[in-house]
């Protein structure tokens, strides 16, 4: 019994690009993924995005050289905005962060640095800056 080879069909025009990997990210893809952002390509060739509702004359907070970079930049902008909002909420709930406590006043003074007037018992091999312990001024 003889088998005949089946004739091969020509692949469809987009078959190679579909099977090669993930779909190419375009500006339209980024706009669909982030409907809360207005996305456009500037005359310089850079891609820009701005959250909807911001002033049209305001600078775009997000820019990139290509659409995949714009997508990543929008993710980073969203994370930074989210962190800022969380920080503001924490301040509203718990109040502003407290300042670190100031260091206690320094009660120790070895001398003035002048061996003739200090009467210090510090060794003679100390330099002039090593005879006085500097402390923060007390208020």
Are the CB atoms for 121 and 101 separated by under 8 Å? no
Domain assignment of residue 70, yes or no: yes
Of 76, 74, 81, 79, nearest to 48 by C-alpha is 74
pLDDT per residue as tens digits for the range 2-43? 666 666 665 555 444 444 445 789 999 999 999 999 999 999
Q: Residue 64 falls within a domain, yes or no?
A: yes
User: What pTM, to 2 d.p., does this model score?
Assistant: 0.52
The answer as to whether 76 is a domain residue is yes
Any domain includes 4? no
Is there a domain that residue 41 lies in?
yes
Domain tally, the chain: 1
State which residues form the domain around 79: 24-94
Short-list 74, 71, 73, 78, CA closest to 23: 71
Residue-wise pLDDT for 43-78, tens only, equals 999 999 999 888 877 788 899 999 999 999 999 999
Is residue 104 situated within a structural domain? no
């Amino acid at each position: 019994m003889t088998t005949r080879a089946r004739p091969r069909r020509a692949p469809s025009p987009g078959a190679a690009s579909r099977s090669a990997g993930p779909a190419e990210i375009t500006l339209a893809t980024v706009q669909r993924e982030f409907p809360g952002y207005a996305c456009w390509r500037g005359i310089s060739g850079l891609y820009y995005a701005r959250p909807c509702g911001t002033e049209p004359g305001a600078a775009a907070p997000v820019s990139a050289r290509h659409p995949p970079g714009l997508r990543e930049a929008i993710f980073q902008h969203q994370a930074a905005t989210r962190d800022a909002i969380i920080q503001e909420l924490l301040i509203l709930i718990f109040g502003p962060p407290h300042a670190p406590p100031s260091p206690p006043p320094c009660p120790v003074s070895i001398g003035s640095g002048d061996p003739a007037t200090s009467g210090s018992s510090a060794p003679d091999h100390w330099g002039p800056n090593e005879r006085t312990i500097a402390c923060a001024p007390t208020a």
